[in-house]
Chain A
Amino acid sequence: MKNSEKSREIKLNYLARVEGEGSFYVKIKDHEVMESQLKIFEPPRFFEGFLQGRSFREAPDITARICGICPVAYQMSSVHALEKICGYQATTTLNELRRLLYCGEWIESHALHTFMLHVPDFLGYPDAIAMAKDHKDWVEKALYLKKAGNDIVNILGGREIHPINVKVGGFYRYPHPSEFKNLKERLEKAQEIAHDAAHWMATLEFPDFEFDYEFIALRNDQEYPMNHGRIVSNKGLSIEAEVYEDRFTEQQQPYSTTLHTWLDGDKTVFTGPLARFNHNFEQLSSSARSLAEDIGLVPVCKNPFKSLLVRMIEIFYACEEALRLLDQYEYPGEIKDQVEPKSGIGRAATEAPRGILFHRYQIDEKGIIQNARIVAPTSHNQHVIEEDLRRLVIQFEDLSDELLTERCEQAVRNYDPCISCSTHFLKVKIERE
């Protein structure tokens, strides 16, 4: 780190608690940001290439391997896109089971991120292990919550990591209701923990930092979105996934191996829990809305640091929703139906824990994948993260280099970026001239 009267350089060589490998660089001169770059240098992973020439039936299992924390999202976007091509209509039971599986993933992913990755920032701990010495009770509760999510994924997905029970057209095996027997009690307790945790987290100090973002999320008339909905924004966007590629484009940046996604060529978008919450508050259950209001969280929330609170609301809601879905689950028995392939192109977007995940596939009449395109939530958020950091270093310029660097890391974690999903960790360097 170095400082002079007009220039300042802050360098952080390793930003922990984000996924993947990258760095951040910002150059400040005379109180203006001259450059800000989120540099991603993790090698590309070529999953779209792996998919070419494989059977469409393999897509849910191959794409699940892209991410160890949100495999369900990859499975869901792939099956929806492929079923559109084949003209397959999911039954109500299937749609509800897919929603239940998504609830499991939201619970486990959000529980890990909020308690283990993000809360230590707000409490001034270097990591969750240091935090656990003073807040053992909350860490225990976080593990309980996470286990509730894992249990759903385990029962319905076949195993906790990289589930294997999802197929185009449904599930390979439908669980008997008796398999869910112990889950209800765990989810009820998990919902209570999420309620208490939301109140606790609301007492944390949130930086005064707001911006007029273009929030993008799915929205539909029936439910808080997971698997279905139009892609909407607060600035006029309302499209089906079919025309996503007409509006969203990806561009290579010379300093990054991740493609940056833009709306209409040059518009920066914000996806993830905060965007979902702002667009779909009315679709939450009355108890989830009440909890949000009780902790002072109402739409439109423009402070990205409060994504922490939104994630707790979403955990609370996902527990409640999972309980509802379990209550009305009717065992369909063994289903041997198989979706038959048709040639064509299919597109779908679903709500991964980190935001919109878009998939597009082209398959031939035998179901062989000709090409595929996958746009992860972090690709959508790459540019808004860079812009937040630009704004942040100016707004908090009076902070010491050390504190400013910490604030920047915290801001990056607002987005829970999965750099490996988008290709792919973060070194932060702030240079002041």
Chain B
Amino acid sequence: MNVNSNILIIGIGNEWCGDDAFGIYAVKKLQKKYTDLAQFLMISGDLSQLLSLWEHKEKVIIVDAAHSLTNSAGHVYEFDSYHELLSHESVFYSSHSFGVAEVLRMAATIGREPRFLKLIGVEGSNWQKGQQISEAVKVAFSRVERIVLHYLQDVPTSTTRKTYQ
């Protein structure tokens, strides 16, 4: 079995905090179904190491839970560029929570962005410690899977944001 090491698929989340676990949940499922399609990585702690881990990768896909307060649970966001994420003003990070937006901002500042990046976010609703992922969020997996497979076949270069309901 030859794993395609040019592609890195990263799931981010905390498995013990309800819908925050979605990134881990989705990437574990993807890894099980498409083992040799890419390298898979699950992260629940310090994200600053992504700046090193995605070096030399052709394509990087990040799957994470999202919290917009405007869409309902299970809504899928798809970003093909940093621009919208980088427009956020607030920066909060710590040893443990150098978050996705901060990593991308730092990457853009020092020129360490991956060449092709896809960020997929799924709106969550329940962030309680010790809780399971909501069913409404789990069902978004099939859309996430479709986006990942489509992206790997045809790297988009547009900077438009697409949403799927």
Q: Which residues of A contact B (CB under 8 A)?
A: 14, 16-20, 43, 45, 67-69, 109, 112-113, 116-117, 126-129, 132-133, 136, 139-140, 143, 146-147, 150, 160-162, 416, 418, 420, 425
Contacts of B97 in A (CB 8 A): 19
B87 to chain A, nearest CB (A): 14
Asked if B109 contacts A418 (CB within 8 A), the reply is: no
B132 interface residue (CB < 8 Å to A):
no
Contacts of B69 in A (CB 8 A): none
The contact sample of 30 A-B pairs, CB cut-off 8 A, is: A16-B92, A16-B94, A19-B95, A19-B96, A19-B97, A43-B129, A67-B96, A68-B44, A68-B45, A69-B46, A112-B95, A112-B98, A116-B48, A127-B91, A129-B91, A129-B106, A132-B106, A132-B109, A139-B109, A139-B110, A140-B110, A146-B52, A150-B49, A150-B52, A161-B43, A162-B44, A418-B95, A418-B96, A420-B96, A425-B94
CA separation between A17 and B94, bound complex, in Å?
A: 4
B59 interface residue (CB < 8 Å to A):
no
- Which residue from B49, B92, B95 sits with its C-beta under 8 Å from A416? B95
Asked if B51 contacts A16 (CB within 8 A), the reply is: no
B102 interface residue (CB < 8 Å to A):
yes
Number of contacting residues on B, CB 8 A? 22
CA separation between A45 and B17, bound complex, in Å?
A: 12
B20 to chain A, nearest CB (A): 14
Main secondary structure of the interface of B (DSSP, over half): loop
Asked if B94 contacts A18 (CB within 8 A), the reply is: yes
Q: How many A-B residue pairs have CB under 8 A?
A: 81
Contacts of A147 in B (CB 8 A): 49, 52
CA separation between A117 and B97, bound complex, in Å?
A: 11
CA separation between A48 and B96, bound complex, in Å?
A: 21
Q: A19-B96, A129-B102 are in contact. List 12 more A-B contacts (CB 8 A).
A: A20-B94, A68-B46, A69-B46, A112-B95, A113-B95, A116-B98, A127-B102, A150-B49, A161-B43, A161-B45, A161-B49, A418-B96
CA separation between A113 and B94, bound complex, in Å?
A: 8
Report the 4 A-B pairs with minimum CB-CB distance, sorted nearest first: A68-B45, A19-B94, A132-B109, A69-B95
